[in-house]
Structure 1
Amino acid sequence: MAGGGAVELDVAGRAVRLSNPDKIYYPERGFTKLDVAQYYLAVADGVLRALRDRPTTLQRFPDGVDGEFFYQKRAPKGLPDWLPTARITFPSGRFADEICPTEPAAVLWAANLGCLTFHPWPVRCADTDHPDELRIDLDPQPGTDFADAVRVARELRGLLAEHGLRGWPKTSGGRGVHVYVPIRPRWTFTAVRRAAIALARAMERRMPELVTSAWWKEERGAKVFVDYNQMARDRTIASAYSLRARPRATVSTPLRWEELPDAEPEDFDLRTVPPRFAELGDVHADMADHAFGLESLLELAERHEAEDGLGDLPYPPDHPKMPGEPARVQPSRARKR
């Protein structure tokens, strides 16, 4: 049931209006729109660190998690004059102006629109063609679970170190693990994706019983998929501290590496993350102090191609055909031709 009235929130000195504060967003636990807003107030510094100056897509649930949702890429109508935008270009060549949060009030303003999950691009508004984050999405397939993703993440940590890189892990808010590597913004999306493919193949060789880089689901088996296409242009991942549209209101939560083995996704939710944040702060705050190079991973990709004949892998279906890309046909269908 929708709640009536409105409240005004003070967000770092800026007033943000919240309509229908009693509207239920998470029926299983009775969490309201106001609960969501208060959550984002409690973790404002952390979520803003993840979103600051980044073109951001809003995943909106105007009727709560049991209702329909949509992704809002273009800045909504009625955008306040204090909330900037940045122009991003889609693979089709079309473009859009997306919001670029620069202050906590932007997060609460979006929450008032029913945004539960923020999907920032891996670029900053000053240069929207060169990612400054390498994002590694460890996605457990049927037959595997979060514990398997954790095993892969811990092995990935060592592989990154061998290439002079450091990763910061977080829960996805579901069954997966995300690992972020801050990088210098000098490589294109194509090159950063190529580095992600090299990582995926290297992990597959290290843990063949548990890791796959296969794009087609029918070829993955009960393994953890390293989703290299999360580095393709216009693909995004739920931000750090974003709520997820799951019944228990779980949160995509930054962790320290030593916490990962004992973590459970359900431990981190709308109620538990604020006191954790109050005690520990943003455990990924130091990401901003680092920017690594991709030279070593790109050299690895060249070796994969020269020595093993391993070139590009398929892009997502909404992308135009790319130079050097293999046939974008499901293997079982290709065999029937």
Structure 2
Amino acid sequence: MPVLEINQRRVRLTNLDRILWPEQGYTKHDLIRYYIEVAPFLLPHLQNRPLVVQRFPGGINGEAFYQKNVPEGAPEWLHTIAIKHRDGKETRYVVAANVETLVWLGNQACLELHPWLSSIGSLEKPDFAVFDLDPMEKTTSGQIREVALTVREVLLHFNLESFPKLSGASGLQIYVPLEPLYAYGQVRRFVEAVCAQVHRLLPAITTLERKVEQRGGKLYLDYLQNGRGKTLAAPYSPRPLPGAPVSMPLSWEEVASWKIKPGDFSIKNTPALLRERGDLFAAVLNIKQKLPSI
């Protein structure tokens, strides 16, 4: 059994040749190498946050499951946090504090990394408001672009900066960095109000309807992700889809031009792209904004 030593910590590796993305032949070894290469860009978005992962032991076409609790046999050096929930139950989450944790997660076939929107020390008050733009099958890329730019314009009306990223699947997400001053309910109500305004401006292509069968083929403005313990895929997290796409931050100029094609950002080309363009989401961690009264 191979062992990788990182920062004087030993990580046991197993089944490195196991294929996770069959169409491309990408293996667990490829996933671990990706995590090592993007660690300087990925880790800041995971540090000090409870982490939920989705594991695919048999690859993206096999059985998958979400995991919150740290599994038995986890290394002693792993950083974790125990959180009590309203029902009195306790969950011990992984906190990805270093590259060796990413390697361990990769060996667990954790293809998706979902950090909380709030940090340790202020778990009840998120650092971000998030808009999850969820397209339907008939939604065009031009419509996604129009909706995203409209969300940005409404936010600018409140003097709020925002940052877009591809979900890695078909959607786009917009983050608004905040001072951790507001309860999740306050943040959700603000995002809901902005979504309602966007829907009033673009009623022909957007909906606030939660039930898929009642959306009429329109793009869903999802504000309900702003909740305690709810998560989105982290920036640069892989996704369990053919091509091994990743959730990639964009500039607003890239959104406006929308020359993006499926497969532009994958575990194969993202490390080199990050070395060229840097972390477009770095500001999300540094800018602290206050919500307006609406």
Give the TM-score normalised by structure 2: 0.93
Query: In structure 1, what is the equivalent of residue 273 of structure 2?
Result: 276
Output the amino acid matched with 1:30. Answer: G
- Aligned amino acid, residue 73 of structure 1: K
SS in 2 for 1:181: strand
Q: What's the secondary structure of 2:225's corresponding residue? A: helix
- Matched to 1:245, the amino acid is P
Tell me: CA distance 1:279–1:182, structure 2 relative to 1, closer, same or farther (3 Å): same
Alpha-carbon separation, structure 1, partners of 2:127 and 2:262 = 27
Cα distance, 1:90–1:140 mapped onto 2, change above 3 Å:
farther
Give 3-state SS (helix, strand or coil) of 1:156's partner.
Answer: helix
Give the structure with the higher percent helix: 1
Number of aligned residue pairs: 292
Question: What is the alpha-carbon distance in structure 2 between the residues aligned to residue 60 and residue 128 of structure 1?
Answer: 24
Q: Give the distance between the partners of 1:63 and 1:217, measured in 2 at CA.
A: 29
Question: Distance between the aligned counterparts of 2:137 and 2:277, measured in 1?
Answer: 34
Displacement of 1:234: 2.5
CA deviation vs aligned residue, 1:110-166 (integer Å, no higher than 9, x gap): 111110100111011112111111111000023214442222111211111111211
Which residue of 238, 243, 258 corresponds with 1:243?
238
Quote the Cα distance in structure 2 between the aligned partners of 1:12 and 1:240. Answer: 24
Alignment of 1:5-44 (within 5 A): 6-11=1-6, 14-44=9-39
Alignment of structure 1 residues 116-155 onto 2, 5 Å: 116-155=111-150
How far apart, in 1, do the equivalents of 2:152 and 2:108 lie?
38
Map residues 196-275 of structure 1 onto 2, 5 A cutoff.
196-260=191-255, 261-275=258-272
What secondary structure is seen at the aligned counterpart in 1 of 2:13?
strand
Matched-pair contact (CA < 8 Å) for 2:130–2:176: yes
Indicate if the aligned counterparts of 2:151 and 2:195 stay in contact, CA closer than 8 A: no
Residue number in structure 1 paired with 2:164: 169
Are 2:81 and 1:86 equivalent residues in the alignment? yes
Q: Tell me if structure 2 keeps the 8 A contact 1:59–1:69.
A: yes
- 1:146·1:176 contact (CA, 8 Å) conserved in 2? no
- Matched AA of 2:78: L
- Equivalence for 1:320: none
**SS at 2:231's partner residue?**
coil
1:193 is paired with a residue of what secondary structure?
helix
List runs of 5+ in structure 2 lacking aligned partners.
none
Moved more, 166-175 or 77-86: 77-86
Q: What's the Cα RMSD here?
A: 1.7
Query: Which residue matches 2:66?
Result: 71
Query: What is the CA-CA distance between 1:12 and the residue it aligns to?
Result: 5.4
State the SS of the aligned residue for 1:266.
coil
- Corresponding position: 1:113 with 2:108: yes
Query: 1:11 Cα deviation (Å)?
Result: 4.2
Name the counterpart of 2:282.
285
Shift, 1:72, TM fit: 0.4
For residues 221 and 13 of structure 1, do their structure 2 counterparts lie closer, same or farther at Cα, with a shift above 3 Å needed? farther
More relative contact order in 1 or in 2 (CA 8 Å, sep 6+)? Answer: 2
Note closer, same or farther for the CA distance 1:181–1:193 as it changes in structure 2 (3 Å cut). same
Residue 179 of structure 2 is matched in structure 1 by 184
> 2:218 is aligned with what amino acid?
K
Indicate the percent of aligned positions where both proteins have the same amino acid. Answer: 37
Q: Deviations over 1:285-328 (max 9, x none)?
A: 1222201111x2xx33xxxxxxxxxxxxxxxxxxxxxxxxxxxx
For the 8 Å contact 1:134–1:181, the answer to whether it is kept is: yes
CA offset at residue 257 of structure 1?
Answer: 1.3
SS at match of 1:45: helix
